[in-house]
């Protein structure tokens, strides 16, 4: 089956033999499941943390979308990341990660996992050689986010996965920005794809969730053990919302991309917008890599508002359709100011060195009419 068919049907085939034939899987709220036999659960389910039919349907859907053998759903993207880190890493292990990482991932490693003896180094992962230089004898994991947030730089997943494998480390790719529709890290050699399901996969800004997709059986069994042991599972209702949202993922991603491309071109020609960063633009320094490893360019872009902080604040105060909010990937367009919102916790010196200046704004382009979105930006830029 092709992507759009799997997005609608995988994990939700009507059960006409023993069920009532629901076309949409019910929200199984039961915390526990009765059995006929004391020795084993009758239909595979015993307790809802361990396994739940609605969550299971979502996990089948997510594996189908990423073309992986297995998927596991968690209470949030960070719950998925925590479970992955606590499963793979031991005291004394080291992680190499891209320096332009999602703030919550950075916080998890720097402030929490460090207390358990796990260390992390941040490198410019645009350059494969920098990642190699960051390796130590105890490096067990390479953590990539591509394209990055908010600067939209890329790392070469294929080259980096190969290097990591040769040195006995696993490669993890946070694939939230592209969704499984536009990029499949496992096909490029990565070991695990991480998603904040909250974003494009659910797509309606009404549910928080996370997922891990992978094809290695041994690692899957360890992760499944810890999904139950740590208990950071996705609820049945949120599993239903993610299942429902994911059905329109292909349609939404096409529209996000179409709108983002139009907006990027509009901003390129606007005198008050500088340094427009969108991987679909030929002027993007890594346009060729983007074309090679992604099937599309997504709905995220960033640019600098010309002037100083007062001009930036004026712009942010004047947009009407774009809501000033964190998060991304929903049907509605959002704008945010990384320096004071998502990346406020990154020390200023480090932030500016990375390119996250006070002028930078990030757009999550929604699926509204592109003309209305462009008009909104034009008025706000003034
Ligand atoms: C939002 C986000 C996360 C964290 O996911 P939550 O669902 O908010 O826990 C991780 N990575 C990226 C790229 C994100 O955008």
Which pLDDT does position 15 carry in this prediction?
84
**Across all residues in the chain, what is the average pLDDT?**
96
Q: CB neighbours of 84 closer than 8 A, spacing ≥ 6?
A: 172, 192, 194, 212, 223
- Listed as ranges, residues in the chain with pLDDT below 50 are none
Where are the domains positioned within the chain?
A: 3-246, 249-381
Residue of the CA atom closest to atom 5 of ligand 1: 77
Q: Which CATH architecture has domain 3-246?
A: 3-Layer(aba) Sandwich (3.40)
pTM value is 0.97
Q: In whole angstroms, give the CA distance from residue 280 to residue 55.
A: 35
DSSP label at residue 108: I
For the question of residue 278 being annotated catalytic, the response is no
For the question of residue 102 being annotated catalytic, the response is yes
Please tell me if the CB atom of residue 174 comes closer than 6 angstroms to any atom of ligand 1. yes
Among 199, 244, 252, 255, the active-site one is 199
| Phi, psi of 169, deg, nearest 5 | -110, 155
Q: In whole angstroms, give the CA distance from residue 128 to residue 132.
A: 6
For the question of residue 351 being annotated catalytic, the response is no
On the question of a cis peptide bond just before residue 147, with omega within 30 degrees of 0, the verdict is yes
Among 49, 130, 162, 265, the active-site one is 49
Which pLDDT does position 342 carry in this prediction?
86
Task: For residue 248, count other CB atoms closer than 10 A to its CB.
Answer: 17
Please tell me if the CB atom of residue 200 comes closer than 6 angstroms to any atom of ligand 1. no
Bridge partners for 211 per DSSP: 73, 195
Which pLDDT does position 353 carry in this prediction?
87
- Residue among 77, 108, 210 to mutate when testing ligand 1 (max atoms within 8 A of CB): 77
Please tell me if the CB atom of residue 102 comes closer than 6 angstroms to any atom of ligand 1. yes
| Residue whose C-alpha is closest to residue 76's, from 244, 235, 299, 236 | 235
DSSP assignment string, 289-337: HHHHH-SS--SEEEEEESS-HHHHHHHHHH-SSSEE-S---SSS-EEE-
Among 45, 55, 100, 102, the active-site one is 102
Which pLDDT does position 351 carry in this prediction?
87
CATH 3.40.50.2300 assigned to domain 249-381? The reply is no
> Which ranges of the chain does DSSP label H, i.e. alpha helix?
3-9, 53-66, 77-88, 103-107, 128-133, 157-166, 179-182, 217-230, 236-246, 249-268, 287-293, 309-318, 348-354, 370-381
**pLDDT tens-digit series, residues 194-232:** 999 999 999 999 999 999 999 999 999 999 999 999 999
DSSP label at residue 47: B
Which pLDDT does position 189 carry in this prediction?
98
Please tell me if the CB atom of residue 149 comes closer than 6 angstroms to any atom of ligand 1. yes
Which pLDDT does position 173 carry in this prediction?
98
Among 93, 100, 156, 174, the active-site one is 174
Please tell me if the CB atom of residue 103 comes closer than 6 angstroms to any atom of ligand 1. no
């Amino acid at each position: 089956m092709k992507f759009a068919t799997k997005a609608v049907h995988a994990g939700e085939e009507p059960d006409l033999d023993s069920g009532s034939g629901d076309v949409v899987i019910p929200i199984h709220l039961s915390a526990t499941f009765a059995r006929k036999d004391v020795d084993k659960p009758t239909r595979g389910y015993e307790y809802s943390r361990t396994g739940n039919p609605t969550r299971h349907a979502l996990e089948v859907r997510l594996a189908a979308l990423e073309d992986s053998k297995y998927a596991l759903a968690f209470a949030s993207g960070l719950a998925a990341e925590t479970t992955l880190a606590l499963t793979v890493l031991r005291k004394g292990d080291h992680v190499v990660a891209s320096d332009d990482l999602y703030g919550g991932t950075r916080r998890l490693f720097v402030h929490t996992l460090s207390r358990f003896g796990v260390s992390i180094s941040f490198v410019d992962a645009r350059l494969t050689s920098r990642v190699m230089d960051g390796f130590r004898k105890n490096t067990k994991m390479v953590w990539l986010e591509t394209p990055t947030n908010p600067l939209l730089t890329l790392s070469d997943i294929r080259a980096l996965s190969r290097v990591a494998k040769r040195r006995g480390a696993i490669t993890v790719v946070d694939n939230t920005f592209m969704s499984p529709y536009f990029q499949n890290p496992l096909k490029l050699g990565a070991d695990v794809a991480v998603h904040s399901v909250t974003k494009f996969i659910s797509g309606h800004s009404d549910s928080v969730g996370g997922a891990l997709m992978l094809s290695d059986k041994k690692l899957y069994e360890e992760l499944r053990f810890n999904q139950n042991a740590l208990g950071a599972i996705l609820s049945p209702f949120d599993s239903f919302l993610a299942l429902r949202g994911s059905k329109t993922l292909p349609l939404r991603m096409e529209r996000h991309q179409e709108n983002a491309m139009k907006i990027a071109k509009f901003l390129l020609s606007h005198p008050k917008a500088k340094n427009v960063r969108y991987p679909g633009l030929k002027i993007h320094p890594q346009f060729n890599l983007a074309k090679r490893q992604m099937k599309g360019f997504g709905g995220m872009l960033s640019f600098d508002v010309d002037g100083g902080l007062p001009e930036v604040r004026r712009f942010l105060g004047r947009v009407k359709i774009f809501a000033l909010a964190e998060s991304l990937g929903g049907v509605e367009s959002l704008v945010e100011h990384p320096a004071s919102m998502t990346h406020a916790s990154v020390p200023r010196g480090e932030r500016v060195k990375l390119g996250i200046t006070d002028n930078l704004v990030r757009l999550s382009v929604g699926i509204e009419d592109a003309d209305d979105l462009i008009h909104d930006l034009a008025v706000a830029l003034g």
